[in-house]
A and B are shown apart, each in its own frame.
Chain A
Amino acid sequence: MSARYSRLWVAVLAACALLFAIPQGVAGPVGAADVTVRADPDSLFAGERLNYLIVVHHDGGRSVAVDNLQAGPSTAFEAVRRSQSSKRLPDGSVELRVSVDLATFGKGPQRLPGFTVVEWRDARSKASRFIFRPASSVVVMAATDSTMTQLRPSAPPFGPGFLPWLVIVPVAGVALLLAFAIFFLLKRTILKNSAAGLINPSRFARQKLRSLDRQLSKGLAPAEGYEALSNILRQYLQYQYRFRAMEQVTQEIADELEGRGVRAREVVLKLLLRADFIKFADGRPDIGECRSSLKIATAFITGTPEQLDALAQQAGEAPAPAGQPVSGNPE
């Protein structure tokens, strides 16, 4: 029993070996002829070419032709080249070889295309037609879109890694430009803030006034003290109220302060006018007057709104209208 089964197994394996030894070779009788088909290779990428060889063997007493390739519903193949030849064998029979190059499409196993074998004995006789549908298939691997219906080019124009760069490079360029723009905007904002916002004009002016006071104690001429006081006040006004006080004359400064509704502006203007007289008319103030002006300037720079109101009243300035913002210089 076991020996019998062993032989059976050997026969099955031999048959399989024989089957795989001739891959995709299919044979069978069609009418009076024997038809054999072979596909090479048995697996390929979509768009690649498959060589489909049809061999029709008959007795030589009739004419045979292969026609109507792809007679089935399959659209997985497209004939791109066809050639055929026939020869008479020594035994008097004739062999017809039809070689077709097929472009393959789709994905997965694709059944080989069928065709029609036409036979006729002579010109007056009626032709017989036999449809041959091979049962074997080839495996199509879809490296591209499975809906692709165009021929795959023999060599790709770009390396497979190129396409992502088409997106990456412009995106990276735009990102770089944006980064530069943000950097410069930030730098500009920081510089502006550091110049205008981070410096406290009131504190800076007080430091300078204290320094001026010390210089007066050390013997600085009161006229020079007045000039320095004028510069400190104008610099303070420039940074506190954001106008070009250093490049403006006293009347222009007066107009700016009035436009901004600055309280105790009359006090400042009196100081500036006195400084103008001392500077431009070669005035000779005494040290007491200079120190007094220094105190008034300090009061203006450090005063709270209430203190500035009191200062303004002393200078005979009209009170601020109700609802008008009062400029004070609290710390």
Chain B
Amino acid sequence: MIIKQETELEALGREIMQESVFLDAARDALSSRIIGQKGVVDRVLIALLANGHLLLEGVPGLAKTLIVRTFAAAMDLSFRRIQFTPDMLPADLIGTMIYNPREMEFHPRKGPVFANVILADEINRSPAKVQSALLEAMQEKQVTIGDATYPLSEPFMVLATQNPVEHEGTYMLPEAQLDRFMMKVMVEYPSYDEEIEIMQRASAFGVEDELLPVVRPEQIFLARKLVDRIYVDQRVQRYIVDLVMATRYPDRCGLEDLSPMIEYGASPRASIFMLLASKAHAFLQSRPYATPEDVKSIAYDVLRHRIRPSYEAEAENLKAEDFIRNILEHVQVP
């Protein structure tokens, strides 16, 4: 439903203000365990509100796993961690049929994918068939074991982590599978002061208090409904499409130099996810309408894994982020 009247929008704004309080509680819970990484935490919340999946990339030791584990604990959601390894099979993920000799029947044994929040740790350490099994579950939100199809529980969210592909023993995720992730977030090193705090907290003796859930699943569903009602003007929608089209045809927005540098641009799924993520970003700001600022805020995360640099670009050490920056600087804001 699209709200056109300013008064209705104001009413929605008030509703969002009331219902988004749980986000502050979630942020506080996360920041009690995680030092810094506020951008990553916001992206996790956006993915949760927009019903998307997230890919976290960063070198080992940057608290990727801790962020996801803490997030699941704070949300009162079931959580499973799956460590992807080179010898893993799809059955290890989705489950398999087990023969029960007493009943002389096969019974399904559900795999770890049956949880609300899945941490697919180091997803790029497994071969493509295992990745495909997970990504099919992400897309269809159901799993078939034997002859029976089982729906996955809601909310269902996959937070995958991966190390940079240059690292040894990693498989590059296929583009079609990467496209299913709403956002790819780069986890950066903490700042100097953050690192000191991390060091002090990690070296302190004592047992950490158990993190109690601060968000109920029904709050998440209600927030999702409000996100869905957030107003996105035609101008903002056109701006999103302009950006996505610029990744495919850079020459049309005066970026002729970029054309040979991009092998292929973002898919229509990028436009869909940009719209959803912009709405969720506006919700985080307690705003009942999306603006180009929301679009720009999430543009890097939505687009970076959907743009494939060409051979020439790789030779010049140019990355998708360089193209996105260039495009954002050249596409006119409405």
Contact = CB atoms under 8 A, between A and B. Distances in A.
A250 interface: yes
Contacts, number: 47
A265 to B, nearest CB: 17
A323 B332 CA distance: 36
Interface stretch (A18-26, A88-96, A115-123, A240-248): A240-248
A280 B291 contact: yes
Nearest to A284: B6
Contact of B289 (A246, A248, A251, A281): A281
Contact of B9 (A246, A276, A279, A281): A281
Contact of B330 (A247, A250, A279): A247
A279 B334 contact: yes
| Interface of A, helix, strand, loop or mixed by DSSP | helix
Contacts of A252: 296
A137 B331 CA distance: 93
A247 B4 contact: no
A281 B330 contact: no
B39 to A, nearest CB: 16
B329 A244 contact: yes
B330 to A, nearest CB: 6
A281 B331 contact: no
Give the size category of A's interface with B: 10 to 19
Nearest to A273: B291
Interface string A279-312: 1111110000000000000000000000000000
A249 interface: yes
Contacts of B289: 277, 280-282
Nearest to A230: B334
Given A251-B293, A279-B233, A281-B231, A246 B6 contact: no
A249 B331 contact: no
Interface string B1-14: 00011100100000
A283 B289 CA distance: 11
Interface string A53-65: 0000000000000
Contact of A249 (B6, B9, B233, B293): B293
Interface string B307-334: 0000000000000000000001111111
A268 to B, nearest CB: 15
Contact of A282 (B9, B330, B332): B9
B68 interface: no
A248 B334 CA distance: 9
B244 interface: no
B235 interface: yes
A248 B235 CA distance: 15
A65 to B, nearest CB: 86
B90 interface: no
Interface in A220-266: 244, 246-252
A198 B291 CA distance: 35
A248 B295 CA distance: 12
Question: Which of A248, A249, A283, A284 gathers the greatest number of chain B CB atoms within 10 Å?
Answer: A249
Question: Which of B235, B289, B329 gathers the greatest number of chain A CB atoms within 10 Å?
Answer: B289
B277 interface: no
Contacts of B296: 249, 252
Contact of B6 (A244, A276, A279, A283): A283
A280 B329 contact: no
B236 interface: yes
Nearest to B289: A281
A279 B333 CA distance: 12
A284 B10 CA distance: 13
Interface string A31-56: 00000000000000000000000000
A280 B233 contact: yes
B332 A246 contact: yes
Contacts of B290: 280
Nearest to A279: B235
Contacts of A280: 231, 233, 235-236, 289-292
Given A279-B233, A279-B235, A280-B290, A247 B331 contact: yes
Given A249-B296, A250-B293, A251-B293, A281 B233 contact: yes
Given A247-B331, A247-B333, A249-B333, A282 B6 contact: yes
A247 B332 contact: yes
B288 interface: yes
A116 to B, nearest CB: 84
Contacts of A283: 6
A282 B292 contact: no
Given A280-B290, A280-B291, A284-B6, A246 B333 contact: yes
Contacts of A277: 289
Contacts of A249: 291-293, 296, 333
Nearest to B236: A280
Contacts of A282: 4-6, 9, 231, 233, 289
A247 B328 contact: yes
A282 B233 CA distance: 7
A251 B296 CA distance: 11
Nearest to A250: B293
Given A247-B328, A249-B292, A250-B293, A281 B6 contact: yes
Contacts of B6: 281-284
Interface string B279-292: 00000000011111
B93 to A, nearest CB: 41
A276 B285 CA distance: 15
7 contacts: A252-B296, A276-B291, A279-B334, A280-B289, A280-B291, A281-B289, A282-B231
Interface of A: 244, 246-252, 276-277, 279-284
Interface of B: 4-6, 9, 231, 233, 235-236, 288-293, 296, 328-334
